[in-house]
Amino acid sequence: MKKLVSVVVPMYFEEEVAYECYHRLTDVMSKGDTDYELIFVNDGSTDKTLPILKGIALNDKKVKVISFSRNFGHQNAVTAGVFGASGDAIVIIDADLQDPPELIPDMIAKWQEGYDVVYAKRKQRKGESIFKLVTAKYFYKFLHAMSDVEIPKDTGDFRLIDRKVAEVFKNMPERNRFIRGMISWVGFKQIPLEYERQERFAGKTKYPLKKMLKFASDGIIGFSSKPLKMISFVGGCTIVLSIILFIYSIVEKIIKGSTVQGWTSLICAVALFSGVQLLSLGIIGQYIARIYDESKQRPLYIIDEKINYEEEK
Ligand code: UDP
Ligand code: MG
């Protein structure tokens, strides 16, 4: 029997690319020797994305659509797609065609050779702002230094995962998801596949700075407790510093007998220590916020509509 490959595509305000994305994926997938299904996840877009997807699904039963009740974010959209996929392998790809669908057959070939995860590694990125290139570069360096798990550099979520990896992934209930890290964490046989990242086909990035920062903190805080260890270290250093200041001020008092002098050093010390304390509290707060998020046990996303799924609505 032919193997089934599911392709998961998250979409947020992608009316300009939805059709093209469907055509390119269909072109590539229909030429292969595996069966396929396309799973489009509408992450609460209120433009024409959903009507376009519905139109496509009406004429092509290989297309399944999952639509959220509101925007739950890229990582949750991908998660919903993995839950809604029934393939022996699942490919995760962006809608904007920055990840070339033409790479999928190579991924499938590697999978058939016996690899469980085939992740696409960017050789070059076209059409990205300098800001994005620089921040991404340093983010991955920083992540590498901070994280306890080996997370491959220059790698997005564009990848193929085997059914057994998907099953493990589905059993990871964490709320603040950093999928590329989670899949790296599970292990199994993983292999990179190099490619050139293209320009966005149309439209603008759906990752404004705020979402990028949230994503970065999910990557760092979700995968490491090093920030907590670091603040203990910084705390230790400030204690040493304050002991020096303590001795200095006592000696000053004894030698000069004046207490008015030393105002500058006093202000400096207060400012420095309160800064360090606030930063440390902030970092601890981030971890507590995550514990809080987990303890609420809310669903990762809410599905409003499912199209071309027989069993359930
Ligand atoms: N996306 C999503 N929900 C969001 C933001 C983005 O589903 O809240 C999707 C988006 O439609 C695209 C993918 O995630 O398919 C990657 O987004 P984008 O291309 O804007 O990110 P960039 O490539 O600029 O990092
Ligand atoms: Mg993109």
- Ligand 1 proximity of 206 Cβ (cutoff 6 Å): yes
What is the 7 CA–ligand 1 centroid distance (Å)?
A: 16
Work out the number of other CB atoms within 10 angstroms of the CB of residue 220.
20
**Shortest-distance ligand to the CA of residue 179:** 1
- Ligand 1 proximity of 175 Cβ (cutoff 6 Å): no
What is the 287 CA–ligand 1 centroid distance (Å)?
A: 26
Site of tokens 């590694």: 121
What is the 73 CA–ligand 1 centroid distance (Å)?
A: 8
Question: For the segment 7-38, what is each residue's pLDDT rounded down to a tens digit?
Answer: 999 999 989 899 999 999 999 998 888 999 99
Among 16, 69, 206, say which to mutate for ligand 1: greatest number of ligand atoms within 8 Å of CB: 206
The pLDDT score that the predictor gives to residue 205 is 77
The pLDDT score that the predictor gives to residue 313 is 46
The pair of three-digit structure tokens given for residue 218, joined into one six-digit string: 């999910």
Share of the chain above pLDDT 70, in %: 96
Residue 11 has phi, psi (to 5 degrees) of -135, 125
Rounded to whole angstroms, how far apart are CA atoms 225 and 227?
Answer: 6
**Shortest-distance ligand to the CA of residue 21:** 1
The pLDDT score that the predictor gives to residue 259 is 64
Q: Which atom of ligand 1 is nearest to the CA of 44?
A: 3
The pLDDT score that the predictor gives to residue 142 is 79
What is the 75 CA–ligand 2 centroid distance (Å)?
A: 13
Q: Which residues make Cβ contacts (< 8 Å) with residue 183, sequence separation at least 6?
A: 117, 119, 159, 161, 165, 169
The pLDDT score that the predictor gives to residue 261 is 67
The pLDDT score that the predictor gives to residue 169 is 94
Tell me, rounded to whole angstroms, the distance of Cα 17 from its chain centroid: 21
Nearest to 104 by CA among 24, 42, 178: 24
Q: Which residue's CA is minimally distant from atom 17 of ligand 1?
A: 206
The pLDDT score that the predictor gives to residue 117 is 93
Please write down the long-range contacts of 280-286, taking CB distance under 8 Å and 24 or more positions apart: 280/231, 280/234, 280/235, 283/227, 283/228, 283/231, 284/228, 284/231, 286/217, 286/221, 286/227
Nearest to 126 by CA among 99, 152, 158: 99
Q: Which residues make Cβ contacts (< 8 Å) with residue 96, sequence separation at least 6?
A: 14, 17, 21, 200, 201, 202, 203
Q: Which residues of the chain have pLDDT under 70?
A: 125-127, 258-261, 311-313
Question: For the segment 101-119, what is each residue's pLDDT rounded down to a tens digit?
Answer: 999 999 999 999 999 999 9
- For residue 72, give the amino acid letter: F
- Ligand 1 proximity of 42 Cβ (cutoff 6 Å): no
* Contact indicator for 155, 192 with CB cutoff of 8 Å: yes
Q: Which residue's CA is minimally distant from atom 8 of ligand 1?
A: 73
Nearest to 91 by CA among 76, 67, 61, 111: 111
Q: Which atom of ligand 1 is nearest to the CA of 9?
A: 15
| Cα dist from 256 to 253, 261, 263, 268, whole Å | 6, 9, 15, 21
Rounded to whole angstroms, how far apart are CA atoms 259 and 257?
Answer: 7
- Ligand 1 proximity of 77 Cβ (cutoff 6 Å): yes
Q: Which residues make Cβ contacts (< 8 Å) with residue 109, sequence separation at least 6?
A: none
The pair of three-digit structure tokens given for residue 275, joined into one six-digit string: 């800064």
- Ligand 1 proximity of 157 Cβ (cutoff 6 Å): no
